[in-house]
Structure 1
Amino acid sequence: MKKLATLFALTALSSAFAVSASAADLQVHVFSHANKATLTVTKDGQPLANYPVEIQGLNTAENTGSNVTAANGSVTVTNYDNQAQQVKFIVNDENGQPIVAQRFLGRDS
């Protein structure tokens, strides 16, 4: 039980912070909570609409969202599986260099 409580505490702590990676002026931020993760792509502080995002690790057929960012520069995915899953977001900058962000998403409850 103590190990389970520690795991939940670590998951909550890691989910409370957004990850930011940048290449040139392109920035990627990921926020996750429970079984959802939202990635936002910005350039010079402005959201990038219709920017391609590769999503790995989740059954994308179950995620009805698009693999391009919405008008607010974001893409949200949900883990509908009954087991926790790791999701990887890959965004290529203007030079074709990948920016990778990963999150561990809890199971659907």
Structure 2
Amino acid sequence: MTKFVSALIATTLSTTFAAGAMAADLDMNIFTLDNEATVTLTSNGQGVANYPVVIQGQQYLTSENGTVSIVNHDSVPHVYKFVAKDSQGNLIEHRRYLTTDN
């Protein structure tokens, strides 16, 4: 009976850790330089192609290497909002300040 309980506990713990890892499989990184931002979505270290990213309310799809780039062409700086949804339905949300177009 003790071996059965130990096996049951080990299975439960490994399933719990696996479920927790799955929720964090989608990562968003944003590189900004002046008035430009490049968003990179990765899953397990690899770029995620054709994945939706919402930037300032407008939806974009990532390229084959998992990136989307935007430029602030306005005459005033803005804080941009970047949003993606992982496979579990959790929102990944970041904000970045982009300067003016010079």
Length-normalised TM-score, structure 1 = 0.70
Supply the AA of the counterpart residue of 1:85.
H
Asked if residue 99 in structure 1 is aligned to residue 97 in structure 2, the reply is no
Structure showing greater Rg: 2
Say whether residues 1:39 and 2:39 are aligned partners: yes
1:101 Cα deviation after fit: 1.0
What amino acid is the match of 2:56? Q
Q: Tell me the distance in 1 between the aligned counterparts of 2:82 and 2:38.
A: 10
| Matched pairs, number | 80
Aligned residue number for residue 25 of structure 1: 25
Q: Provide the TM-score with structure 2 as the length reference.
A: 0.74
Is 1:79 aligned to 2:72, yes or no?
Answer: yes
- Alignment partners' CA distance in 2, 1:48 and 1:67: 13
Q: Secondary structure at the match of 2:61?
A: coil
Deviation at 1:24, TM superposition (A): 1.7
**Secondary structure at the counterpart of residue 96 of structure 1:** coil
Query: What is the deviation of 1:25?
Result: 1.1
Aligned to 1:54: 54
Unaligned 5+ segments in structure 2 are 1-22
Q: CA RMSD of the aligned region, Å?
A: 1.4
Gaps of 5+ in 1: 1-22, 61-65
Structure with greater helix percent:
2
Aligned amino acid, residue 82 of structure 1:
S
Aligned-residue offset at 1:37:
0.4
Offset at 1:90?
A: 0.2
Question: SS of the counterpart of 2:96?
Answer: strand
Moved over 3 A (4+): none
